[in-house]
Amino acid sequence: MTPGRSCPLDYQLPADSFAGTSLFSCDSLYVVGGLYGNEQALAALQRRLLREPEARVVFNGDAHWFDCEPEVFRRIEAQIAQYSLLRGNVETELGRQENSAHGCGCAYPDDVPEQTVNWSNAIHQQLSSCVAQLPGMASALAGRAATAVVEVAGQRVAITHGDEQSLAGWHCDRSALRSPERQQQLGDWCERNRISVLATSHTCSAGALATEHWAVINNGAAGLPNFNNGCYGLVTRIAAQPSLAALYRAKIGNLYVEALPLNYDQQAFITAFDQAWPEGSAAALSYRTRITQGCDEQPQDALIEGFALASTLCALEAHFV
């Protein structure tokens, strides 16, 4: 029961979580995981949606993290209320009526350093204090579903935060997705549940795997840099028609499964982050280098099988050089 590493029993998803009817039908779907309270990334998403007003949007958890000031938290909630909202481990733990022994609820695996876990628990504690100042907010967060199925252009898309087994599962991390045994498990699961695409997040590291019949796409983080060619977030787009903005994509049946960059106002985000999390704070120690410098990985590192880089990569590199 180590805070930040333990996986609560109520995180386990029922076997029939994705067997039911669709939440809604559409021809273009955006799945936004790991916004992490980045208002600038949310503004970038909303600008993109102006170009595709018919698209539907599902936030699949961890919309909050750095927004530890009540007014900012409330402002983000007001803006995302128009979309379909699922809960991740952040919302789930913030929504508990009593403090639990699970800390941030990230269920970090053993290879994550203990210091990282401690920082996450400290961030969660500060965010909990923020939510306590917002009457009714904890109940609203707790009331969100953990999973959804959406029909996109006639094909079933499953959405959750971690993986198909657990709200905070790590089995859609790219290292797990490389395993042949895991790929077989996912193939069997998709066939049983008539799923063409599983869209996840949680691991804060993007990964994408596609076969002839199904795909798994983990967008990493919408509100944080994911790669070494610029400081931009990623969102998942699943649609009947491709996007010219895609960073990489695969095609499953009639669906284009894509990762799209969110080019948010980087300087404004840094300024807001530094105000909320000054030097020496848990979030600054854990995340500021990634926020200001990006990651060591290249976009192609996220591609396990079946996905290909799109021409957007060249445009991004030209923009950020």
The 10s digit of each residue's pLDDT in 78-122 is 999 999 999 999 999 999 977 667 789 899 999 999 999 999 999
Each as own residue / partner, the long-range contacts of residues 182-186 (CB below 8 Å, 24 or more positions apart, any chain) are 183/209, 183/211, 186/214, 186/216
Residues 6 or more apart whose CB falls under 8 angstroms from that of 305 comprise: 209, 210, 211
Asked if residue 286 has pLDDT above 90, the reply is yes
Given pLDDT bands bounded at 50, 70 and 90, which one contains residue 285? very high
Given pLDDT bands bounded at 50, 70 and 90, which one contains residue 312? low
What homologous superfamily does CATH list for 9-320? Metallo-dependent phosphatases (3.60.21.10)
Instruction: Tell me what pLDDT residue 319 has.
Output: 41
Q: What is the mean pLDDT of residues 12-33?
A: 96
Instruction: Tell me what pLDDT residue 9 has.
Output: 86
Asked if residue 288 has pLDDT above 50, the reply is yes
Dump pLDDT digits (tens) for 110-162: 999 999 999 999 999 999 999 999 999 999 999 999 999 999 999 999 999 99
pTM for the model stands at: 0.95
Give dist(CA 291, CA 311) in Å, integer.
25
Instruction: Tell me what pLDDT residue 318 has.
Output: 36
The overall average pLDDT reported for the chain is 94
Output 313 or 31, whichever has higher pLDDT: 31
Asked if residue 320 has pLDDT above 50, the reply is no
Residues 6 or more apart whose CB falls under 8 angstroms from that of 26 comprise: 54, 55, 56, 150, 151, 152
Instruction: Tell me what pLDDT residue 1 has.
Output: 61
Q: Which helix (H) or strand (E) holds 193?
A: helix 180-193
Domain boundaries, the chain: 9-320
Asked if residue 321 has pLDDT above 70, the reply is no
Instruction: Tell me what pLDDT residue 103 has.
Output: 85
- Backbone phi, psi, residue 295, to 5°: -110, 170
Dump pLDDT digits (tens) for 187-221: 999 999 999 999 999 999 999 999 999 999 999 99
Among 7-16, 167-176, 229-238, 296-305, the least confident range: 7-16
* Bridge partner residues of 60 (DSSP): 86
Instruction: Tell me what pLDDT residue 226 has.
Output: 97
